[in-house]
Structure formats: C-alpha cells, structure tokens
Amino acid sequence: MHVNAVAVLDVVGIYVFALSGGLVALRRNMDIVGVLSLGLVTGFAGGVARDVLIGDLPPRLVRTEELLLVPIAAALTILIAPNVADRLRQPVLVLDALGLGLFATVGAARAVDAGLGIGATVLVGTVSAVGGGLVRDLLADQIPEILAEGSQLYAVPAALGALLVALGHRAGLTPTAVQAGAVAATVALRLASLRFGWHVPARVRRARSIRRG
C-alpha cells in the first residue's frame, strides 16, 4: 500500500473516530474538556497500540505533533456547529463503522510494511481498529461494544478487513484496490450486523447435564 495513501487513511480515520468520541461525550452531557478528551483518546488509542505492537517507537503521535490538530478539529466541528453535531447523533454508529474500517486497514498496512505475517497482521489491524472505541466507551461509563454481551459484530469486521489487506499483499494485488476493498468490507459487515442483529454467541453456557448445587 502506498505510503501516501496510508497516511491519508490514517488522518481520515483519526478524524472520524475523534468525531464519534466527541459525539458520545456530547450525548453524555460532558463539557468542552470532555468532548476534546474523548475525541483525543478515541482518535489516538488504536494508533498508539498499533505502533507499540509493530515496534514503531516512539508512536507517530509523538513524532508527528501535527496529528494532534486532527481530533481538535473534530472537537471544534462539534462545538462550533452544534446544529450539525445534533444531526450527527444518529449516524454516530456509521462514523464508528467507518473509523473501524479505516483503522483496521491502516493498522494492517503498517504491519505488512513492518514485515509481519498474516496472523500478526490481522492481530495488529484488529487491535488498531477496536482500541479507540474500547477506551472511549470506558471513559464514557459504557460497556465497550466489543465486550457487551450479545452485541453486534465489532472485532470480526475489523479482523476481516485486516485479513483482506494481508492476503492482498501476499497475492501481489494493487494496494489501492486492496485498501478500498478492505475498508468497504469492514464497514459493510459492521453495518449489516447492526441492521440484521448479527452477533457472536453471547456466552458459553453450561451443559444441561451438569447438576446444580
């Protein structure tokens, strides 16, 4: 995947995730500090985890301070244009799905560039994608989507997107086409799971043959 394309996806992913984090803060009636804080952690948590896993240290956030402007811009979008933000309350899950696809793709692409194998690439891409939402929900005093019992697919779409990037690289396909397909597949599966209620099994239940007490 071309470096410039990865960089653009990274910035867009940070903005989208930061926007979703800020909207969650707004929905939880947080003040400007809460909106900015949730935007920052949602936008950066996954990327920092990704950089640590692939050994790209210090993380890009530290090396490229301009990236700090991206979640700040997302927070300002919410605070300066409250009417727009209010319209975005419902599409917050769509924004989250888009961020999921972008971060899964970027995380996997950077893992491939670091020379990791398919399994490790899928792991890095998945962690990169779900990290921001996980921290966001914890700070917002919500059960993280990835941990909620019976929740719709979240980590699975991210893993699928990361897998497509890894397989596409292994097959020598055009990076741009692979990246677009990975983002689209991740977003589509996530939104389909929300629309149709697809989810992983809620729990491993005890066998009925086990006697109680």
Say which range, 62-66, 125-129, 153-157, has the weakest mean pLDDT. 62-66
**pLDDT category, 184, cuts 50, 70, 90?**
very high
pLDDT above 70 (res 44): yes
pLDDT above 70 (res 117): yes
pLDDT at 204: 46
Tally the domains of the chain: 1
pLDDT at 187: 94
Residue 92 in domain: yes
Mean pLDDT of the chain: 84
pLDDT at 90: 60
pLDDT at 206: 44
Say which range, 45-49, 52-56, 88-92, 128-132, has the weakest mean pLDDT. 88-92
Residue 117 in domain: yes
pLDDT above 70 (res 51): yes
From its phi and psi, is residue 140 left (phi > 0), alpha (psi between -120 and 50) or beta? alpha
pLDDT at 203: 56
pTM over 0.85: no
Residue 190 in domain: yes
Q: Which domain holds residue 7?
A: 3-196
pLDDT above 60 (res 207): no
Segment 143-148 mean pLDDT: 74
pLDDT at 124: 96
Residue 157 in domain: yes
Residue 208 in domain: no
Backbone dihedral angles phi then psi of residue 152, each to the nearest 5 degrees:
-70, 165
Residue 53 in domain: yes
For residue 58, say if its preceding peptide bond is cis, omega within 30 degrees of 0.
yes
Residue 7 in domain: yes
Residue 212 in domain: no
Residue 6 to residue 21: CA distance in whole angstroms: 22
